[in-house]
């Protein structure tokens, strides 16, 4: 079908949109939160088309949009007086209220639940279309399911052109994140989705509210949810998104240490430090962040970056909504760079005795973060597994378990293979390392030591305040490797030659520890 493009300031547009809706069609309309994909809420055939156009899961209910308070009466079993109180204060505006539904609401709208979600938008064009059609309009966000919500008509066109009857261009959505969803069907009322109306604003009217744990946390496998929308991967660009907590200095150091070109999604004025960046709003200004976040997430893909690192938004007020959306677009991947204890990187040539140095530091009360162990843990992550299978073949996973030997055989066959393996696993190893450092911090460790053979070939060195290289003469290392791993001199030499020369380790380290027979390690470590 050809999608009609209408401008909201053209008088005829409102009438045309209303007629399409009365005839059971789909129209994307601007609202102050995000664009909505509207259909007649009382016509189940029309509503079914919404699910098809968006590719939306059937069990995710829709919000019904009205243009006056009187319109809600026929839609609900009976009106809760608290709904009037909320409406009086925050309607028209970015608040959705859930109540018990009446029989007029088709099962398609409520996805089989006995409740209905209702909102009165404040965008003039949205209200004009609702009143001109004389219908309550079911409207989810007008994006393809899973994609960032649309805040411009161009975003709707990007996702749904040719799949809907019309789009009405009413300019950029002002708020930029979807409405707050609160249910009055629980006692106390529960905030199911944070949005343009803050938790405090709800408390001002309702007294007490509960905040659904799904706002902050990943749902457990098979958990029953109050708001089905919270269950799905959402708002996600194709690039992998990670939220970074901490100061701008920490963020900058970490991003500049990445091996591939990543996209910095940061605040106004910060972008100039990076090769590829998108700025979303001003630091500590949650309204400006809300306004631009979805547009920024869409831009990430336009830049062609595989990974994006987002500066953590303010998380109260409307900022809670921004944080909640970002958490989902990042599949809950957060790295907190605000580390309070000193972090030391420990690396060295094979056979130089890095492990012995690590053991000595452990005795001094330092927590050891062993990246060999983390590398094994990283490949248990389903997302990492998926990426490995896509790169190295589905058959490296047998009955859900990774065949490590086969992966190693394929990945280490050539340089591209091992680089691809690192590119997939290093980000997860880094995330796990930071998690362990925070754990060490909580457990009262004096400092944390990241033990990593590839310290300088990864972004791990950027997490460290000081880096130590352990080196030893080649003959000495040869003996140690042969003895330790019971291998021939030839094989031991191969391993030694596979690593960079000693100068590499010396040049990049802050502290070099010599570990030949007769060297006093304790004495050298005392310098720490
Ligand atoms: O700002 C908004 O709310 C936008 C604009 C277009 O109005 N609409 C929007 O709709 O965000 P949608 O479908 O993308 O999100 C609706 C959310 C989903 O998380 C859904 O699960 C939840 O509201 N919801 C709808 N009806 C519900 C119900 N009866 N019970 C629980 N959750 C419900
Ligand atoms: Mg949505």
The CATH number linked to 504 is 3.40.50.300
pLDDT for 315 equals 86
Query: Could you give the CA distance from residue 231 to residue 224 in angstroms, rounded to a whole number?
Result: 9
Q: Is residue 212 part of a domain?
A: no
Of residues 87, 73, 25, 82, the one with CA closest to residue 52: 25
Q: Per mean pLDDT, which of 236-240, 245-249, 519-523 is the most reliable?
A: 245-249
181, 234, 290: residue to mutate for ligand 1 pocket, most atoms within 8 A of CB = 181
Q: Do residues 502 and 445 share a domain?
A: yes
- What CATH number is attached to the domain comprising 175? 3.90.870.10
Q: Is the pLDDT of residue 232 over 80?
A: no
- What CATH number is attached to the domain comprising 288? 3.40.50.11030
355 Cα to the center of ligand 2, angstroms? 50
Q: Do residues 412 and 468 share a domain?
A: yes
Q: Is the pLDDT of residue 368 over 80?
A: yes
Query: Could you give the CA distance from residue 505 to residue 469 in angstroms, rounded to a whole number?
Result: 6
Give nearest CA residue, ligand 1 atom 15: 140
Q: Do residues 149 and 22 share a domain?
A: yes
Q: Is residue 223 part of a domain?
A: no
Structure tokens belonging to residue 299: 């831009």
Model confidence over 157-210: pLDDT tens digits? 999 999 999 999 999 999 999 999 999 999 999 999 999 999 999 999 999 999
Q: Is residue 216 part of a domain?
A: no
Q: Is residue 250 part of a domain?
A: yes
Q: Is residue 349 part of a domain?
A: yes
Query: Could you give the CA distance from residue 348 to residue 504 in angstroms, rounded to a whole number?
Result: 10
Provide the residue range defining the domain that includes 320.
240-336
Q: Is residue 265 part of a domain?
A: yes
Q: Do residues 298 and 368 share a domain?
A: no
| pTM > 0.85: yes or no | yes
Q: Do residues 398 and 258 share a domain?
A: no
Q: Do residues 348 and 466 share a domain?
A: yes
Query: Could you give the CA distance from residue 176 to residue 285 in angstroms, rounded to a whole number?
Result: 14
Q: Is the pLDDT of residue 268 over 90?
A: yes
Q: Do residues 138 and 9 share a domain?
A: yes
Distances (CA, A) of 116 to 183, 227, 358: 9, 11, 60
Q: Give the pLDDT band of residue 526 (cuts 50, 70, 90).
A: confident
Q: Give the pLDDT band of residue 231 (cuts 50, 70, 90).
A: low
Contact 315, 211 (CB under 8 A): no
pLDDT for 280 equals 97
Which of 137, 160, 180 represents a domain boundary (last residue)?
180
Query: Could you give the CA distance from residue 306 to residue 300 in angstroms, rounded to a whole number?
Result: 9
How many CB atoms lie under 10 A from the CB of residue 485?
12
Residue with tokens 């630091």: 283
Q: Do residues 332 and 409 share a domain?
A: no
Q: Is residue 26 part of a domain?
A: yes
Ligand 1 cavity residues, CB under 6 Å: 31, 33-34, 36, 60-63, 94, 96, 98, 110, 113, 115-117, 119, 121, 139-141, 178-179, 181, 192-193, 226-229
Q: Is the pLDDT of residue 224 over 80?
A: no
Q: Give the pLDDT band of residue 236 (cuts 50, 70, 90).
A: confident
Which of 316, 336, 356 represents a domain boundary (last residue)?
336
Q: Do residues 323 and 368 share a domain?
A: no
- Closest atom of ligand 1 to 94 CA is 1
Q: Is the pLDDT of residue 265 over 90?
A: yes
Q: Is residue 454 part of a domain?
A: yes
Q: What is the average pLDDT score of the chain?
A: 94
Of residues 23, 27, 99, 21, the one with CA closest to residue 63: 99
Interacting residues of 348 by C-beta distance below 8 A, sequence separation 6+ = 354, 357, 468, 469, 470, 471, 505, 513, 515
Q: Do residues 80 and 21 share a domain?
A: yes
Which of 296, 312, 336 represents a domain boundary (last residue)?
336
Bridge partners of 514? 471
Structure tokens belonging to residue 313: 């938004």
Model confidence over 395-414: pLDDT tens digits? 999 888 899 999 999 998 88
Q: Is the pLDDT of residue 227 over 80?
A: no
Q: Do residues 363 and 495 share a domain?
A: yes
Q: How many domains does the chain have?
A: 3
182 Cα to the center of ligand 1, angstroms? 10
Give nearest CA residue, ligand 1 atom 7: 36
Q: Do residues 497 and 355 share a domain?
A: yes
230 Cα to the center of ligand 1, angstroms? 10
């Amino acid at each position: 079908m050809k999608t009609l493009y209408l401008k909201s300031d053209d008088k005829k547009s409102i009438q045309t949109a209303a007629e399409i809706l009365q005839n059971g069609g789909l129209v994307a309309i601007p609202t102050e939160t995000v664009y909505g994909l509207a259909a007649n809420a009382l016509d189940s055939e029309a509503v079914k088309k919404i699910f098809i156009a968006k590719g939306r899961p059937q069990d995710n209910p829709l919000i019904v949009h009205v243009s006056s308070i009187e319109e809600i009466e026929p839609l609900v079993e009976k009106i809760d007086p608290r709904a009037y109180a909320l409406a009086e204060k925050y309607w028209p505006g970015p608040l959705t209220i859930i109540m018990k539904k009446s029989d007029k609401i088709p099962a398609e709208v409520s996805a089989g639940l006995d409740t209905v979600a209702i909102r009165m938008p404040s965008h003039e064009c949205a209200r004009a279309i609702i009143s001109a059609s004389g219908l309550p309009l079911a409207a989810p966000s007008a994006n393809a399911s899973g994609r960032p919500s649309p805040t411009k008509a161009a975003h709707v066109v990007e996702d749904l052109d040719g799949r809907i009857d019309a789009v009405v261009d009413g300019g950029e959505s002002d708020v930029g994140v979807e409405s707050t969803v609160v249910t009055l069907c629980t006692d106390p009322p529960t905030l199911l989705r944070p949005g343009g109306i803050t938790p405090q604003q709800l408390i001002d009217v309702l007294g007490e509210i509960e905040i659904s744990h799904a706002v902050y946390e990943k749902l457990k496998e098979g958990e029953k949810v109050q708001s089905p929308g919270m269950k799905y991967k959402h708002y996600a660009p194709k690039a992998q998104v990670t939220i970074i907590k901490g100061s701008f200095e920490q963020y900058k150091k970490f991003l500049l240490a990445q091996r591939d070109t990543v996209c910095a999604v940061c605040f106004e004025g910060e972008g100039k430090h990076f090769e590829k960046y998108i700025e979303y709003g001003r630091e500590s200004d949650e309204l400006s962040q809300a306004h631009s976040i979805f547009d920024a997430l869409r831009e990430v893909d336009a830049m062609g970056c595989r990974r994006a690192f987002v500066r953590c938004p303010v998380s109260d007020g409307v900022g809670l909504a921004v944080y909640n959306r970002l958490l989902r677009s990042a599949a809950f991947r957060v790295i907190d760079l605000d580390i309070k204890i000193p972090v030391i990187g420990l690396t060295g040539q094979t056979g130089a005795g890095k492990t012995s140095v690590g053991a000595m530091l452990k005795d001094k009360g330092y927590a050891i973060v062993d990246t060999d162990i983390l590398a094994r843990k990283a490949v248990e992550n389903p997302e990492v597994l998926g990426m490995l299978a896509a790169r190295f073949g589905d058959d490296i996973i047998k009955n859900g378990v990774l065949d490590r030997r086969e992966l190693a055989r394929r990945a280490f066959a050539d340089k591209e293979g091992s680089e691809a393996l690192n590119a997939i696993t290093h980000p997860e190893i880094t995330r796990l390392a930071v998690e362990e450092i925070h754990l060490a911090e909580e457990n009262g460790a004096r400092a944390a030591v990241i033990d990593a053979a590839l310290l300088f070939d990864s972004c791990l060195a950027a997490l460290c305040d000081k880096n130590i290289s352990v080196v030893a003469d080649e003959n000495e290392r040869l003996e140690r490797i042969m003895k330790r791993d019971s291998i021939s001199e030839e094989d031991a030499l191969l391993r030694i030659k596979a690593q960079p020369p000693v100068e590499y380790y010396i040049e990049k380290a802050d502290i070099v520890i010599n570990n030949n027979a007769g060297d006093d390690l304790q004495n050298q470590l005392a310098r720490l």
